[in-house]
């Protein structure tokens, strides 16, 4: 037998088998909807686990919500959530999108994930390590239906890093860190690959071309409401609604909002700040729509709703959005309070001590153990994570177990920030601003309407939570507006589970308590140069970081430097990588996609403009298969292989 011919035949047969297998794999795993793992969940005989809803704003500044005291941008729905629940006034976050979301999903500090430096760029072949177990995976295991809506920003260079492979039953949204609000085109911010841009909106793994031209906030809100309306309320739900608002779109564009929304803020003199206000207003309406949907399904009576921002606002610099962290110092991607002290509030009927402002420290990594605790999972079952279980503190107002926060240790950016007790330590800083920036709401910026607590009470969120407009509230409104108000009392949907319904006086009082004032005169200021020497601030007395105490408190300085050394020994080096030109959307039908798949036919699949058109996809695959088959026949003919004589020893 001719060994060469046998090897050639074997090779052709092997390639044919490989082609068939590859085609089947593409069809089953890529073109058809990805089958979800069925969970044989039996509802527990004990009390049903609470529905958990996280609404995450993007780049929202401290002074961009009205419950912190500013009248410039009214946020009645967000205020109603916060004032009915707990305003978290010492809620710390990593200063950038990817690190913040990494901490939220894992319960770990980004320094222990290699995710502490910068953000995940579209061209980077990396993501949140697959070895990490994420919040939705924990929740799936105990019977939750899990949904992600909006921004991901934790990796997609391989599909295994995308949401539906990381514990979410569904995802509707975008994989990158930003996109245009209408076109959903994302442009690579990295100057080396700045010409790369592509479409980025998906339903699970399928490109959602039909969303082009539709406003992102509306798309995500409508999807969240749809999921709530279609949910089996006998099963607990985890909804992660991560909005694009108020992140800037692409660098060469202004923020975008509907014209009619922008027109509502004509009193703001700065046109860019006016757009910011409109973007935040749409975000506020989204909160109201979600809360109203939860009310209509009877889910609010057993829900935990968290509203927060991933980091502070980038008032200036790259991708700035005219958000305001006033009166806090610094901006996004800085170690100062303006970048790391985030807007946050929680509401739930399960919280016994509500309608208060909490000044207890909390870090983004605490949410995983805290929410799992509320769902009945013990902190000791979670292994080696950094987060604290603060659920008992939130429910009853007990003292928080957290007294120290490593905000970041970033060797590449050469800075660190730590909060311990009343004090905060900073050494080094990023290139972004360390000044006091952003709109204050001062009349010189335009005369804002006076804050109206009644708009908070009668917002969708306010009505959803209170369940009724009480006679007392109606009389208050009658007296104020001198008109008859119809008292609403719907017994079929009443959800008044709180002992005392929120009043206008409560709202005014909570706003006062949540408002930060600097209270430092010019002569009392002590400058700080963190690139030269460490800085130390008493945040409790000096939240605006104006008085550097490093020279007056050497003992505290030594304590912080000891803490820095201790935690520095545990740091995992940043995982940042150079961009990969294979990610260029122009290679993938102008879409951002998982570009490192080994499948040789992935390119052909992606170049089909409408991936849901399976017939068209199969036509392309059939053509490719025929080309390979014809090639095999040519090889046989060229070599004059006689299949009948292969067994003849003379050959």
Cα dihedral sign for 26, 30, 33, 39? positive
What CA–CA distance (Å, rounded) separates 154 from 165? 12
Catalytic-labelled residue, pool 51, 68, 91, 97: 97
254 contacts 227 by C-beta, under 8 angstroms: no
Question: Is the sign of the CA dihedral 355, 357, 361, 366 positive or negative?
Answer: positive
For the chain, give the number of residues.
Answer: 651
How far, in Å, CA of 244 to CA of 249, rounded? 8
CA-closest candidate to residue 419, choices 531, 327, 326, 537: 537
Rounded to 5 degrees, φ, ψ at 24 are -60, -40
Phi, then psi, of 260 in degrees rounded to 5: -65, -25
Rounded to whole angstroms, how far apart are CA atoms 605 and 618?
A: 9
DSSP string for 567-610: HHTTPPPP------GGG-GGGTTTB---TT---TTHHHHHTSS-
Going along 117-169, which residue ranges are E strands? 145-151
CB atoms near residue 319 (< 10 Å): 16
Residue with tokens 């090779």: 11
Q: Among residues 68, 112, 153, 184, which one is catalytic?
A: 153
**24: buried, middle or exposed (CB in 10 Å: 19+, 13-18, 0-12)?**
exposed
Whether 153 is catalytic is: yes
**Contact between 495 and 467 (Cβ < 8 Å):** yes
Residue 439 has a CB neighbour count (10 Å cut-off) of: 25
Which two structure tokens, joined as six digits, stand for 12? 């052709």
Helices (H), 317-366: 337-340
Q: Tell me how far apart the alpha carbons of residues 181 and 216 are, in angstroms, rounded to a whole number.
A: 5
CA pair distance 40, 45, nearest whole angstrom = 15
Q: In Å, how far are 93, 234, 429 from 363, measured between CA atoms?
A: 6, 32, 20
Catalytic residue at 518? no
Catalytically annotated residues: 97, 153
């Amino acid at each position: 037998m001719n060994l060469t011919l046998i090897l050639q035949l074997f090779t052709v047969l092997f390639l044919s088998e490989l082609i068939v297998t590859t085609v089947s794999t593409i069809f089953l795993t890529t073109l058809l909807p990805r089958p979800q793992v069925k969970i044989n969940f039996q509802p527990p005989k004990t009390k049903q686990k609470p529905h958990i809803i996280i609404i995450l704003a993007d780049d929202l500044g401290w002074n961009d919500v009205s419950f912190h005291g500013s009248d410039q941008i009214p946020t009645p729905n967000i205020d109603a959530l916060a004032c009915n629940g707990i305003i978290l006034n010492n809620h710390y976050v990593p200063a950038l999108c990817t690190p913040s979301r990494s901490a939220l999903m894992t319960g770990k500090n980004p320094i222990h994930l290699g995710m502490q430096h910068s953000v995940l760029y579209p061209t980077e072949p990396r993501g949140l390590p697959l070895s990490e177990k994420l919040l939705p995976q924990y929740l799936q295991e105990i019977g939750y239906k899990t949904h992600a809506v909006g921004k991901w920003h934790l990796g997609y260079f391989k599909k295994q890093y995308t949401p539906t492979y990381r514990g979410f039953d569904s995802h509707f949204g975008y994989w990158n860190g930003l996109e245009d609000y209408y076109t959903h085109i994302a442009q690579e911010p990295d100057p080396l690959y700045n010409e790369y841009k592509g479409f980025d909106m998906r339903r699970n793994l399928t490109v959602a071309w039909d969303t082009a031209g539709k406003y992102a906030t509306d798309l995500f809100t409508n999807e969240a409401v749809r999921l709530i309306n279609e949910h089996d309320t006998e099963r607990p739900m985890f909804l992660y609604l991560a909005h694009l608002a108020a992140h800037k779109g692409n660098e060469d564009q202004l923020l975008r909002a509907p014209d009619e929304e922008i027109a509502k803020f004509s009193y703001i003199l700065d046109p860019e700040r006016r757009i910011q206000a409109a973007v935040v207003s749409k975000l506020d309406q989204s909160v109201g729509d979600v809360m109203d949907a939860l009310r209509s399904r009877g889910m609010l009576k057993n829900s935990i709703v968290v509203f927060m921002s991933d980091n502070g606002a980038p008032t200036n610099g790259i991708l700035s959005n005219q958000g305001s962290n006033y009166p806090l110092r610094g901006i996004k991607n800085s170690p100062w309070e303006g970048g790391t002290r985030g807007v946050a509030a929680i509401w739930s009927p399960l919280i016994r001590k509500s309608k208060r402002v909490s000044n207890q420290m909390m870090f983004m990594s605490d949410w995983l153990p805290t929410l799992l605790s509320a769902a009945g999972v013990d902190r000791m079952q979670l292994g080696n994570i950094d987060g604290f279980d603060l659920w008992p503190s939130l429910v009853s107002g007990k003292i928080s177990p957290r007294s120290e926060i490593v905000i970041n240790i970033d060797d590449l950016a050469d800075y660190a920030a730590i909060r311990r007790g009343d004090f905060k330590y900073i050494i080094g800083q990023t290139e972004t601003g360390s000044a006091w920036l952003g709109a204050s709401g001062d009349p010189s910026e335009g005369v804002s309407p006076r804050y109206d607590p009644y708009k908070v009470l009668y917002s969708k969120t306010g009505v959803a939570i209170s369940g009724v407009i009480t006679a007392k509230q109606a009389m208050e409104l009658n007296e104020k507006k001198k008109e008859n108000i119809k008292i609403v009392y719907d017994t079929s949907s009443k959800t008044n589970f709180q002992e005392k319904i929120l009043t206008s006086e409560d709202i005014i009082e909570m706003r006062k308590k949540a408002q930060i004032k600097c209270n430092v005169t010019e002569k009392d200021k002590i400058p700080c140069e963190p690139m030269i020497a460490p800085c130390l601030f008493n945040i409790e007395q000096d939240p605006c970081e104006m008085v550097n105490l490093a020279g007056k408190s050497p003992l505290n300085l030594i304590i912080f430097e000891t803490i820095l050394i201790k935690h520095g020994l545990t740091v995992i080096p940043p995982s940042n990588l150079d961009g990969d030109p294979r990610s260029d959307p122009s290679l993938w039908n102008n879409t951002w996609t998982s570009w490192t798949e080994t499948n040789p036919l992935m390119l052909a699949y992606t170049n089909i403009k409408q991936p849901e058109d399976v017939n068209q996809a199969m036509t392309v695959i059939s053509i490719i298969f025929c080309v390979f088959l014809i090639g095999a026949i040519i090889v046989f003919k060229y070599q004059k292989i006689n299949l009948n004589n292969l067994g003849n020893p003379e050959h």
